[in-house]
Amino acid sequence: EPEVTQTPSHQVTQMGQEVILRCVPISNHLYFYWYRQILGQKVEFLVSFYNNEISEKSEIFDDQFSVERPDGSNFTLKIRSTKLEDSAMYFCASSELVNNSPLHFGNGTRLTVT
Amino acid sequence: DQQVKQNSPSLSVQEGRISILNCDYTNSMFDYFLWYKKYPAEGPTFLISISSIKDKNEDGRFTVFLNKSAKHLSLHIVPSQPGDSAVYFCAARVTGNQFYFGTGTSLTVIP
């Protein structure tokens, strides 16, 4: 069964550094998402992306965050200057371009900011 | 802004019995509801969904019930198996593509 893949599985970075989290969505999916889950908290929506542009974003997704689809397969989340509170599991997801299509998640990248 | 709530952080059930996981929501504009299962160190896995025009959807051992008047969603697993032990998230979507997740319920099925 096709799956969403994310790399790396764990990223440790120092506060103030830039990180790029990578995702390869399912190949025939056209909607892409980033979610995050801070330890012990709920899964939170960050951003959705369709047709090479952001379609929705949450309050969390401020100017420090950006997304990109640099080629036909990758979907990246960049955090320009990481803060301690950015430490979380970051999940990429994708869905088909049909009504009532569920999100399919990757296994996540655990980001630790020290 | 907790639009989707799972008030039970944990649930323990004997193998073979029914597991009932509950979810409440506040936004009457939600039109699509889902349940996800999550094992440690893995991403959420889609289990079952229901459109707001239905009140029940069944897939094998899993049944989702939707009570729109009460703004309540539940997942029934019967019979429960030890492999069902995981964290279960409910999620809901307003027309569009932003999904809101609950905080999860950790289910333990005791052999």
Q: Does B101 touch chain A (CB under 8 A)?
A: yes
Residue B97 pLDDT exceeds 80: no
Q: Does B53 touch chain A (CB under 8 A)?
A: no
Q: How far is A56 from chain B (nearest CA, A)?
A: 7
CB-nearest to A42 from B46, B96, B102 is B102
The token pair that represents A5 in the structure block: 């893949």
CB contact at 8 A, B99 and B93 = yes
B5 contacts on A by Cβ (under 8 Å)? none
CB-nearest to A48 from B36, B43, B97 is B97
Inter-chain CB proximity A42 and B49 less than 8 Å: no
- A20-66: pLDDT as tens digits: 999 999 998 989 999 999 988 888 999 999 989 998 899 999 999 99
Dihedral sign computed on CA atoms, order B93, B25, B35, A40: positive
pLDDT tier, B81 (very low <50, low <70, confident <90, very high otherwise): very high
Inter-chain CB proximity B41 and A50 less than 8 Å: no
Q: What is the C-alpha to C-alpha distance for residues A69 and B104, in angstroms, rounded to an integer? A: 31
Residue whose C-alpha is closest to residue B63's, from B52, B50, B46 = B50
Lowest mean pLDDT among A25-29, B74-78, B85-89: A25-29
- Residues 58-87 on B with a CB inside 8 Å of A are none
Q: Give the nearest chain A residue to B39 (CA atoms).
A: A107
Query: Residue range A92-96: average pLDDT?
Result: 94
CB-nearest to B98 from A6, A42, A48 is A48
Virtual torsion, Cα A40, B104, A92, A14, nearest 10 deg: 0
Inter-chain CB proximity A102 and B104 less than 8 Å: no
